[in-house]
Structure 1
């Protein structure tokens, strides 16, 4: 499974952004794409057109992803998964203003762990940061090693954030 981080322009300058950590850790498995309302990324649109892409976006219509046994995932994942790399408010706007996202199969994470990331205000109850979402997806896909590496990166990032704030 490969990740496409559809990233809001403001996230590129935020030191609190965790999508950059995912892309740095796994440059061959993760691509950051700038979200543009009027001119969406052409390569991403082509993947969508070929039916290879799903979107992690919790909604009443989204399919829940969970492990149903020790190794079996409740649903097969698409080859590429898009994560909206933005604040919750920005992600909702991105989704609303991008018809190509609204036509994708959507997924939400069932039984997601409690977030370890507490650096932003107005966090959604039960919400995860981009890195945590990527880690859960890797875990669900049976790649515990990548998930563990990402969570280690998040812990180091959180410590660095506290050091710079104090």
Structure 2
């Protein structure tokens, strides 16, 4: 399994970026790819074209931002998961400015609780931060030990 964080350049310099926690301690399961509007990552676009990757969207994003192909993709059927790693506002722009992402099957992460993340404002209700999404994906995929380890790191970081 591989989780690709499609990361906005500004996130690389933000102390509040939770994706960095996962990249550091995920035994190479989580890989960061820098998002470039005019030069998309060739490996990522190939995975999407071959229907080998799913784009994760959490329920905090409104359906108007998700293409009409918003599917009920079954995340368990994919070994490659793409998560947009940026602020909510930047994530919308990344999605809207990246035609190839609109071609990806999409999975909406539905959780029982709201985000615990408190280091950034303007989070939509039901929206999770990057590491919370990663933790949920790891749990779905049966990677409970790594999910617990990342949960602890997130708790300490968010504290």
- Pairwise same-fold verdict (TM > 0.5): yes
Distance in 1, Cα, partners of 2:36 & 2:101: 12
Residues 4 and 83, structure 1, Cα contact 8 Å, conserved in 2? yes
TM-score, scaled relative to structure 1: 0.84
143-152 vs 53-62, greater mean Cα deviation? 53-62
Instruction: Confirm whether residue 32 of structure 1 aligns to residue 32 of structure 2.
Output: yes
Partner residue, 1:43: 43
Check the 8 A contact 1:112/1:136 in 2, yes or no. no
Helix, strand or coil: the match of 1:32?
strand
After TM superposition, where is structure 1 displaced by more than 6 Å over at least 4 residues in a row? none
SS at match of 1:76: helix
Aligned CA-pair RMSD? 1.6
1:63 is matched with which residue?
A: 72
Question: How far off is 1:115 after superposition?
Answer: 1.4
Please name the residue that 2:104 is paired with: 104
Structure showing greater Rg:
1
> TM-score if structure 2 supplies the norm length?
0.87
Task: Tell me the equivalent position of 1:79.
Answer: 79
Distance in 1 between residues matched to 2:91 and 2:45, nearest whole Å: 18
CA displacement at 1:121 relative to structure 2 = 1.1
**Structure 2: gaps (5+ residues):** 64-69
Count of aligned pairs between the two proteins: 150
